[in-house]
Amino acid sequence: MLKTILVLIFVLCGVYLAPVNFKEMGDENLISDVDVIEDSIKEDLSESPTRVKRFNAKKHPYLRWPNKTVPYWINMTFYTSEHVQQIEKAMREIENVTCLKFVGRTYQHDYVTFTGNTKRCVSQVGRNGGQQYIRLMPTTVETNCFRLGSIMHELVHTLGFYHTHIGTNRDDHIKILWENIDPSRQNDFKVFLKSDEVDDFGLGYDFDSILQYHSKAFSANGKPTIVVKDPNIKPNRMGQRKSLSRGDVLRIRKFYDCDDEPNI
């Protein structure tokens, strides 16, 4: 009888008191940015995430990195010194306009590992707890996953931000042309998050965001998959992978409560 009671107490505590197990979130928390891969290797990138979730900042403080600091480790099995320099250059770009710091991991429990055992550019959203990954396919620097903006794209995901085009307000600003999307990639265009789960910090839709897909992302026929509703906005503003937009900087700073004046 006592054993039965103890088991029941354990089950109840597991249901009501246990913290979120981030490692069990799995593919629901993965972000794939394979739209930046050149067409010559897209045929190798057919895997489709299960219920992929993305947007801007999620309203859960546990996804933020404590003390505005992201510890990291780079797996040199896959990368050269040039790759390391490019990764750290992307980090400096973010540090220069925010209050965040990326530091080499020493003893920290929660940290990011950069690894190249992939044919994709992929990251998790926010701090997940323990070791988590940014997977960047090793390529020549300034191509594919190792374009500076592509690395920054994945780093911003790691800071807790989702793709712009799946925001709950997206239908006010863009139209998704489902008939032109590769059927295996349609999950990348679905809005899975609810309006009370995300926050754009009052900054509105950002066509210039480094997290915005370009107009022909995952097109099955070469035609646009995303069109802008406002005729005064040029579609080529979408999908840039050169730098953080002003909106990206302000959202990161608001999410992490940066107090200093932005250097933008």
SS3 228: strand
Instruction: Flag whether 60 is marked binding.
Output: no
Active site residue 154: yes
Instruction: Flag whether 157 is marked binding.
Output: yes
SS3 227: strand
Quote the strand ranges of 59-110, DSSP E: 69-74, 101-104
| Identity of residue 59 | K
For residue 27, the number of C-alpha atoms closer than 13 Å in the C-beta half-sphere is 9
CA distances from 34 to 9, 19, 42, 105, 144 (A): 46, 32, 8, 27, 9
Asked if residue 61 lies in contact with residue 55, where contact means CB atoms within 8 angstroms, the answer is: no
And the tokens for 220? Answer: 């099955």
The CA-based angle 37-162-59, given to 5 degrees, is 165
Query: What CA–CA distance (Å, rounded) separates 66 from 70?
Result: 8
Instruction: Flag whether 163 is marked binding.
Output: yes
| Identity of residue 58 | K
The CA-based angle 145-209-39, given to 5 degrees, is 35
Annotated catalytic residue, options 154, 179, 197, 261: 154
For residue 124, which of 70, 175, 44, 191 has the smallest C-alpha distance?
A: 70
The CA-based angle 68-199-33, given to 5 degrees, is 75
Which residues carry a binding-site annotation? 153, 157, 163
* Residues known to be catalytic: 154
User: Which residues define the annotated binding site for Zn(2+)?
Assistant: 153, 157, 163
